[in-house]
A and B are shown apart, each in its own frame.
Chain A
Amino acid sequence: MTQPVLEIHHLQKHFGRFQALKDITFTVNSGEVFGFIGPNGAGKSTTIRTLLGLIRATGGHATIFGQDVWRDNVAIHQRLAYVPGDVYLWPNLTGGETIDLLLKLNGTAHTAHTDELIKRFGLDPTKKARTYSKGNRQKVALIAAFSQDADFYIFDEPTSGLDPLNERLFQEAVLHLKQQGKAVLLSSHILSEVERMCDRIAIIREGTIIETGSLAEMRHLTRTEITVTTEQPLAAADLPGVHSFQPGRHPHEYQFAVEAQQLASVMATLTAHGIVALQSTPPTLEDLFMHYYGAGKE
């Protein structure tokens, strides 16, 4: 097993009395798209800024390419590409100039690939950055990141200002990076995007990682929605692992949620009642998300 690209162990960050990060632990490997999800203010951007060496962790440890994120940040950034959530560009430079400058800062140059990206994303590079919309500013940062040949890519809510066409372009470009064996950390709250693209996911809440794993693994921790029609009347509300049992719109139609661990025994009961029709919906990431956040509120 090769060394992970990013390793974070029990990272903590205080701002005065406020504890922004309490316990962050996860790893990102090569050839993997890692989703980092959580609501606003949960600590996503603070985590990323710590990883970039912009702010210094108060506790714990984080390395990228095996190097310390604070001490060795310049060496790390040589092989890293980053797109911030809010892109601030120098107002009196054009988009084209900004892209070139950002590439030069990494010792690379404007290539045919850059031109192709500019064309694909539909950016007018001759406009002054101050006249760009939020989406266009994001495009500038994305084009610079994608034309860089980095080993680790960090995107902090990169598509919040993009239209659906450009969002699709972004997803294609990220999958291309994955095929090339690059590591990608994608922070987002567009859950459909994360669901489609990410191999593994970490969920952060109030500065703590509360769940890490693949979507399939996480689904095991939650409930599957079942809609079933049986020959005989069913009274399954008291079965272990069954929740919110209620009759459907048709006779002998029932709806309920079942915990993954109890799925087999519940299915046996259903079969005994004679299944006429069965529809099962695996939990979406959104359900998972609500599950964790709903639980936290109680």
Chain B
Amino acid sequence: MVGKMTRAALLTRIGFKRDRFRLLIWVVVLAGLMSAVAVKFVDIYGTPQEINAIVGTLKSPAIVAMFGAFTFTGTVTTAEVFANEMLVFMALMQVIMNLALSVHATRDEEDRGLTELVRAHAVGPLAPLTAAINELTLVNFGLGILYAVGLDLASMPGATVSGNWLIGLGLAATGWLFGMLGLVTSQLADHAASATGMAYALFGLSYLVRMITDVQRPRLTWWSPLGWIEKLTPYQTPNWRPLLLMLLTGLVLAAVALLIAQRRDIGAGAIATRPGRRTASAWLRGPLSLLWRRQRTILLGWLVGVIVLGAAYGTVFNTIGDILKTNPTMQQVFGGAMVHAANHHLLVGFSSLLTVVLAAIAVIPGLQLVLKLYTDETSGWLESLYARPVSRTRLLLTYSGLGLLTSTTLFLGGWAGLVLTGNASLTHAKDGITAFEFWQGFWGQLPVIWLFVALGILLVGWWPRGRVAVWLYLAYGFLSQYMGNLLHLPHWAKQLTPFGWIKSVPEHAVDWPTFTGLLALAAVLALLGWWRYTRRDLQLR
């Protein structure tokens, strides 16, 4: 007799075997990052002077918007600074890992027909989903333990054992909760891309709610599951209630996923696919319109997401760009003009950091499009195209052209969203970012974006199997800028990626010779990739 969950344990083991490399990379990178930062913090925020210097910064709305709001009471310890800077950030990483793993373990397997093959054996109908739940639970729990042990070993001043474990388990529970969310969207959607899109939309919403409430009214942050991690206050008065809330929500989501899985057919989603057009519309006529047709929902989703993110960051302009709020005596001491100049200066500094964030995000879908040229190749989709009079050059231009356009548009959209909302929120419009500074910010980051896309082209030509390298490089480039100052990274470590090769804009003016040089480098990389791509064998199924 086969029960609903028969052989779930076996499938769990198979799942671990299937994902062993990706799990290994995630676990090593995340646990390593956490422990390394903790050790580093002992070094850079060890003395009260160092701590006092950073606490002021951490209270500024700009940092709150990105790292979360925390309250400090009494003497601030190194551990408390660490919790402030790292919790929200690590939670984001943990969620990204979980969304990728959950969709990969369920909907992706089903798309490829593997679930059907498995279910044809004496395996319970809910066993594959249960196996995914088991895998996510074990991975998160394991990582949580590693976090706690890593923090114990780092032994930061002010750290407590219960605080360390609260952080480890809290991050694990946050990730797990979103993993369960990924399992639910995998049951709702009828293919992997759509499941991922849905999950990320909800994740993005949680992030925005967290950010806006953190800046405006931290009490309301309880409404975002991503905000719960901030409520742990691990090294002050350890609060285990958020952990309970996370586990409860995750359990409810897992139950929902199982319930839907039980009611739907294999291969189908709970949301049914409607029949489509009988013939193609007039504009669907070539590789470019085909690519757009396949990707338009995702790309438009990215555009909306990035504009909303930019606009959301913009809403805090009013708080950041008002120095009088933190220092009311300034007006009397320095006079109005000076205050406006100082406000403007603060906003330009904040915007300069955000151009890096927006540029890094804008690179993602463009780079994905370029690398899709290879994944489409191995998925067999290109065989039908290349059997027609379509040249390699044309297809490479199609994918990389759309990639460049996407990344450029996204950056422009997010940056415009930030500056327009930000300026509109200001009481004194002239404190804001000027049109000149806006375009400086745009042109300044552009070569960085294009360089990453060009690197993708190079990989597609020469080393498509190693494409994960460009993602790691992008992630490192972003982190080295985003956290570089807080971590006191040495100068050379920030110079390893294109993000470090340009002057921060619009804080500084665009350096046109560097601009030209980077574009030329991008062109050379792209040409090298093209040269190889038009000459190599296609790797078909």
B279 in contact with A100 (CB, 8 Å): yes
A-side residues, CB < 8 A to B, are: 49, 52-56, 73-75, 77-78, 80, 82, 84, 86-94, 96-102, 104-107, 110, 125-128, 130-131, 141
The answer to whether the Cβ of B513 comes within 8 Å of any Cβ in the partner chain is no
- Give the shortest distance, in Å, between A46 (CB) and chain B (any CB): 10
A interface footprint on B279-297 (CB within 8 Å = 1, 0 otherwise): 1110011110010011000
For A77, the chain B residues whose CB sits under 8 A away are: 386-390
Q: Taking A56-B537, A78-B389 as contacts, is the C-beta distance between A94 and B278 under 8 angstroms?
A: yes
For A97, the chain B residues whose CB sits under 8 A away are: 276-277, 279-281, 284
Question: In the complex, which range does the number of interface residues on chain B fall in?
Answer: 35 or more
CA distance A82 to B385 in the complex (A): 10
- Give the shortest distance, in Å, between A115 (CB) and chain B (any CB): 9
B385 in contact with A105 (CB, 8 Å): yes
Q: Which of B311-319, B376-384, B477-485 contacts A (4 or more CB under 8 A)?
A: B376-384
A105 in contact with B278 (CB, 8 Å): no
For A106, the chain B residues whose CB sits under 8 A away are: 388-389
- Give the shortest distance, in Å, between B198 (CB) and chain A (any CB): 15
In the complex, which residue of chain B has the Cβ closest to the Cβ of A49? B540
- Give the shortest distance, in Å, between A156 (CB) and chain B (any CB): 10
In the complex, which residue of chain A has the Cβ closest to the Cβ of B285? A104
Q: Taking A74-B391, A77-B388 as contacts, is the C-beta distance between A128 and B285 under 8 angstroms?
A: no
For A91, the chain B residues whose CB sits under 8 A away are: 191
Apart from A94-B276, A97-B279, 14 more pairs, CB < 8 Å: A49-B540, A54-B386, A74-B391, A88-B380, A88-B541, A96-B277, A100-B279, A100-B280, A101-B280, A110-B279, A110-B280, A126-B275, A126-B277, A128-B275
- Give the shortest distance, in Å, between B373 (CB) and chain A (any CB): 14
A interface footprint on B373-407 (CB within 8 Å = 1, 0 otherwise): 00000011101111111110000000000000000
Chain A to chain B: the 10 pairs with minimum beta-carbon distance, closest first? A88-B380, A100-B280, A94-B276, A82-B387, A55-B537, A105-B388, A126-B275, A97-B280, A77-B389, A54-B538
The answer to whether the Cβ of B327 comes within 8 Å of any Cβ in the partner chain is no
CA distance A153 to B536 in the complex (A): 25
- Give the shortest distance, in Å, between B269 (CB) and chain A (any CB): 11
Q: Taking A93-B293, A94-B277 as contacts, is the C-beta distance between A88 and B388 under 8 angstroms?
A: no
B-side residues, CB < 8 A to A, are: 111, 190-191, 267, 273, 275-281, 284-287, 290, 293-294, 379-381, 383-391, 535-538, 540-541
Q: Pick the contact of B286 from A80, A82, A105 — CB < 8 Å?
A: A105
For A73, the chain B residues whose CB sits under 8 A away are: 386, 391
CA distance A80 to B390 in the complex (A): 12
B389 in contact with A96 (CB, 8 Å): no
| B273, B278, B279, B387 pick with most chain A CB within 10 angstroms | B387
For A104, the chain B residues whose CB sits under 8 A away are: 280, 284-286
CA distance A20 to B384 in the complex (A): 22
- Give the shortest distance, in Å, between A87 (CB) and chain B (any CB): 8
CA distance A68 to B190 in the complex (A): 44
B284 in contact with A101 (CB, 8 Å): yes
- Give the shortest distance, in Å, between B321 (CB) and chain A (any CB): 44
- Give the shortest distance, in Å, between B518 (CB) and chain A (any CB): 33
CA distance A87 to B383 in the complex (A): 9
CA distance A75 to B277 in the complex (A): 31
B381 in contact with A90 (CB, 8 Å): yes
| B267, B279, B385 pick with most chain A CB within 10 angstroms | B279
CA distance A67 to B385 in the complex (A): 20
For B386, the chain A residues whose CB sits under 8 A away are: 52-54, 73, 77
Q: Pick the contact of A88 from B285, B383, B391, B537 — CB < 8 Å?
A: B383
In the complex, which residue of chain A has the Cβ closest to the Cβ of B382? A54
A92 in contact with B294 (CB, 8 Å): yes
- Give the shortest distance, in Å, between B453 (CB) and chain A (any CB): 23
For B385, the chain A residues whose CB sits under 8 A away are: 105
CA distance A94 to B287 in the complex (A): 16
A101 in contact with B535 (CB, 8 Å): no
B537 in contact with A127 (CB, 8 Å): no
For B536, the chain A residues whose CB sits under 8 A away are: 56
9 A-B Cβ contacts within 8 A? Answer: A90-B290, A96-B277, A96-B280, A97-B281, A102-B388, A104-B286, A106-B388, A125-B279, A126-B278
For A92, the chain B residues whose CB sits under 8 A away are: 191, 293-294
For B286, the chain A residues whose CB sits under 8 A away are: 104-105
